[in-house]
Structure 1
Amino acid sequence: MKHFLAFILVILVSTFSFAQDVKLLKGKVVNTAGFGLENVHVVNLNQVVGSITNKEGDFSIKAVANDTLHFSFLGYKSIKIKVTNDWINFGSSTIELTESAYALEEILILPHKLTGYLEIDSKYIPINKSYRYSISGLSKGYEAGKKGPGAINKVLGAIFNPADLLYNTFSKKGRQMRKLRDMKKDDEIRNLLINKFDRDLLTSFLQIDKGELEDVLTQCNYSKEFIKSANDLQILDAISGCYEEYKVLKRKK
């Protein structure tokens, strides 16, 4: 009887949770002086939708109670805030962002004497020396870092051993990984990620730290050069593509 009552309780709680209507949540983002901040990106990590503040710092975004909103703005510390019933029922809420303190490292600038001849001057352009390999039957290439005797073997080994490829990360984070496709479809999120290089939103969404994120990309056979230089949208596409192929290969095994 106790088990039956527990089962009924779980059903009722689940039904109540799914019955929550997604509402348009309103808010305002300000700095420590109380002035509204324009172009602050707001992302609902649960509903996988994004928004952006206007000139006054006002925004609106779809949400339900207990959703987590991620706020980010260049030069300010990113924060995450939980949506409450009071916020939904009683109107707008004000969110305050604080400025980040960055310590700039010393940069050494070396002059290049240009000759005016493209063939000579083009040699000064930095070149990504990472090599990519295309495997028949798969939709994308694999980047194996600098060319070397073991590079292609590393790629093939990862592809044809899907049980070992990212198994721990992808199996434990399956729910977050499945939402990557939704992130790619939302224009606001894509516009945000294309100009970001800090991996902050991605790590918050996937619930992993930056070190784990780099490990995922390394296991997906992306080079250190790519991991270091790519913007967050490119990183999103890389992880998403790797996960989709992982699922296909795992089903075939």
Structure 2
Amino acid sequence: MKKLFFVCTLLFTLFAWAQDPQVIEGKVLNSNDDAPLENVNIVNLNSVRGSTTDVEGEFKIRASVNDTLFFSYLGFKSIRIRVTNDWLKFGDIKVKMTELGIALEEVVIKPVQLTGYVEIDAKLIPVYDDYRYRISGIGSGYEGGDTSPGAVSKVLSAIFNPADFLYNVFGKRPKQMQKLRKMKEDDEIRNLLQSKYDRETLMVLLQLEKVDVDEILNRCNYSKNFITTANDLQILDAISDCYEEYKVLNRGKE
């Protein structure tokens, strides 16, 4: 009986140890020439923790068995890797990323041609009716939509309409939406998103398409200018604020 108890205790301890997050290490290389890649962004999609590679391409991040790590780097194909027992057991592994060809679209700049006459130039200069706000942690402000200072009106309508887009995204994806707060609390992820504009990390974490991200912002009353020019950290804060508002209104409804 004592032997059985000892074996069960040992197995339980080993199982619990295997489930606890551990610091794992690895190195990210260019698959073309095995050169180390610096500043590769790594996000644990399960625990929503972030990390980056150093000048030697090396990184450390806390993870458990079966956690999925998301690697992204400008100009390279993003990849996902699942943490295995072997990784935890043997330690350092090498992750190779494939370089992509990037074609930049032509940008046409059309400056406003001023005449020098105030009466005429005042009519030529575009006027934007978007409201100006400020997101915590961001030096500059962002522009909201031109119908109201906040997203209350549209979010409120979503609460009472099961067919509404926001109702389906916010109401039926609680686990994904809960990651918003974790993302905001992780400094590595905030630093990562502040320099990104592709929405890729947000899409992977929230399990949404880019068109869905844009639609959330549109339904939450953010302007087209903000949707197209904001960095991913600003987008994160905007969606998070809208979701928190949704939860408050939803509790009021219940």
Q: Above 0.5 in TM-score?
A: yes
Structure-2 change in CA distance of 1:126 and 1:22 (3 Å): farther
TM-score (norm 2): 0.77
Structure-2 change in CA distance of 1:242 and 1:110 (3 Å): closer
Instruction: Please give the secondary structure, in 1, of the residue aligned with 2:195.
Output: coil
**CA–CA distance in structure 2, aligned partners of residues 223 and 93 of structure 1:** 44
Structure-2 change in CA distance of 1:26 and 1:196 (3 Å): same
Deviations 1:177-230 (A, max 9, x none): 112111101111000000100000000000111111111111111121111111
Does residue 87 of structure 1 match 2:84? no
What is the aligned length? 226
Structure-2 change in CA distance of 1:153 and 1:130 (3 Å): closer
Q: Which amino acid aligns with 1:248?
A: V
**CA–CA distance in structure 2, aligned partners of residues 241 and 41 of structure 1:** 25
Name 2:201's counterpart in structure 1: 201
Does residue 163 of structure 1 match 2:148? no
Deviations 1:28-53 (A, max 9, x none): 00112101111111110111111111
Does residue 33 of structure 1 match 2:30? no
Structure-2 change in CA distance of 1:87 and 1:171 (3 Å): same
Structure-2 change in CA distance of 1:25 and 1:125 (3 Å): farther
Q: Which amino acid aligns with 2:77?
A: K
Q: Which amino acid aligns with 2:239?
A: I
**CA–CA distance in structure 2, aligned partners of residues 178 and 246 of structure 1:** 13
Structure-2 change in CA distance of 1:193 and 1:152 (3 Å): closer
Structure-2 change in CA distance of 1:153 and 1:65 (3 Å): closer
Question: 1:107-126, aligned counterparts within 5 Å?
Answer: 107-110=107-110
**CA–CA distance in structure 2, aligned partners of residues 205 and 236 of structure 1:** 11
Structure-2 change in CA distance of 1:143 and 1:107 (3 Å): closer
Q: Which amino acid aligns with 1:37?
A: L
CA deviation after TM superposition for structure 1 residue 86, in Å: 1.0
- What residue ranges of structure 2 are gaps of 5+ in the alignment? 1-14, 116-120, 134-141
- What residue ranges of structure 1 are gaps of 5+ in the alignment? 1-15, 116-120, 134-141
CA deviation after TM superposition for structure 1 residue 84, in Å: 1.2
TM-score (norm 1): 0.77
CA deviation after TM superposition for structure 1 residue 19, in Å: 7.0
Name 2:20's counterpart in structure 1: 21
Structure-2 change in CA distance of 1:161 and 1:69 (3 Å): closer
